[in-house]
Amino acid sequence: MAEDSSDSIKTFWAELPKADEDFLGAIRDWKNVQIAMDEEIIWLKGFTDEQVNSSDIQQLPNFILYELRDGLLFRKDALVPNKKMRTALLWTPIDKALKLTFPISNNNFFGIDEKFDVKLKPSEEEQPAIALLCSISDVKELFVTIPKFKLEKLDWIVMNDKALLMGTPLLSFPGKTFWVKDDHLLPTGFDFEFKNLSSLLQRKYNECNEDWLLWSENGSVLNINKEDFRKLSVSSFRLTEKSKEWN
């Protein structure tokens, strides 16, 4: 007789104090997860094995994870149950139950007037770099050594004393690299604290997809019109240097 494979499927529940609801924004884009309110406790269910073991879960404060077995809730890997499964709960997908708000911030460091408190955090997922922000003074001697065919694959724009290069393969110049998510240019090794912010910010600040949104690790952003980029070449770089001298 074949073994019932359903016995090996684990069902996970979790609870969190309602006072810590804001921390759930980190997993708001996990559309498979459902939540329900029970007085001062938030219940969650529907986690995958991968989500249960993710750093997003482990970093949530006061978050208690259970495994559901025969109507009883066991702490993860525990042999004795902690409590019975809650019944008569009204379940809702987490992305619909949690409303995302944009608290206003006065951080004007990166050059646009209206700011929101958006945070970036180190990402476990490795993404290919597609843009490089470098100091012109650090790379001007290197430009003349690069073959023409490599330069022609890149676009660039000058911002004060810095140059932003875009394309692949990137040049091995000193500077800060960025990867693309929607039309956001995020520092390599970082992602939004709340991953679903990407599309929401695009709809709010770049609805026509005319700009690149260049982010720094501290959550500040610069809008750059895509049409302001031009093809990179030695001659365009030299013209830029000349114009800086005239100014």
Give the model's pLDDT for residue 108.
Answer: 36
Q: Pairing mode, if any, of strands 131-135 and 176-181?
A: antiparallel
| E strand spans, the chain | 11-17, 34-38, 41-45, 64-69, 72-75, 81-84, 92-93, 104-105, 115-116, 120-122, 131-135, 155-159, 162-166, 176-181, 184-187, 190-192, 211-215, 221-225, 230-231
Distance CA 215, CA 210 (A): 16
Give the residues of the chain that fall short of pLDDT 70: 1-8, 99-117, 195-196, 240-247
Distance CA 223, CA 159 (A): 12
**3-state DSSP assignment of residue 216:** coil
Q: Pairing mode, if any, of strands 176-181 and 184-187?
A: antiparallel
Give the model's pLDDT for residue 207.
Answer: 78
Give the model's pLDDT for residue 47.
Answer: 93
Beta bridge pairs of residue 38:
41
Give the model's pLDDT for residue 6.
Answer: 42
Model confidence, pTM: 0.56
Burial tier of 219 (Cβ tally within 10 Å: 0-12, 13-18, 19+):
buried
User: Residue 200, Cα to own-chain centre: how many angstroms?
Assistant: 12
Cis peptide before 169 (omega within 30 of 0): yes
Distance CA 51, CA 10 (A): 13
Give the model's pLDDT for residue 145.
Answer: 79
